[in-house]
Amino acid sequence: MTVPRCISICLAAAFLLASISAIAQTRGPTFRINGKLVSCHDLSGLDYALYQHNEVYFAGWSLQDYQTAIAWEDRCAPPQWEHEKQTRKSELQARLQVAQADLARQEEERKQQEAELAKQREAAAALQAQAQARA
């Protein structure tokens, strides 16, 4: 391989690496929400979902996803996004509170079901003991 050819290949490789690095930097930091990697560039999808009240977009989000989305918004958001007098962050915080309340309600229901099941087991054990005592 000649020296000029080697130099041109090296310059092309350096240009390619610089281009990839520049593309990665323009996307900004990445966050994992609901199993998907998102960057600052993807914030418009969140805006659209909030604006359209698109519940499908938020389907399957965990408490951690909402907390990560708030961090995503803090890191990437241009100021003053507002819809119906709500900021993006306040919308996400409201959704986080609803998710927390839903989780607390589900936990309470689970505890009630466990208590009912324990009562049924006690009643069954008492009946079985009575049956054995009669036999």
Q: What is the pLDDT of residues 25-66, one digit of tens each?
A: 445 789 999 999 999 988 889 889 988 989 999 999 999 999
Structure tokens at 60: 């399957």
> What is the spatial distance between Cα 64 and Cα 5, in angstroms, rounded to a whole number?
52
As to burial, measured by CB atoms within 10 angstroms (0-12 exposed, 13-18 middle, 19+ buried), residue 65 is buried
Percent of the chain with pLDDT over 70: 73
Instruction: Measure the CA–CA gap between 2 and 7, rounded to whole angstroms.
Output: 9
Residue 79 pLDDT > 70? no
The rounded distance, in Å, linking the Cα atoms of 102 and 89 is 20
Confidence band for 134, pLDDT divided at 50, 70 and 90: confident
Within a 10 A sphere around the Cβ of 88, how many other Cβ atoms? 23
Question: 88 pLDDT band (50/70/90 cuts)?
Answer: confident
Residue 99 phi, psi dihedral angles, 5° rounding: -65, -40
| Encoded amino acid at 126, one letter | A
Instruction: Please report which confidence band the pLDDT of residue 104 belongs to, taking 50, 70 and 90 as the band edges.
Output: very high
CA distance 114 to 108: 10
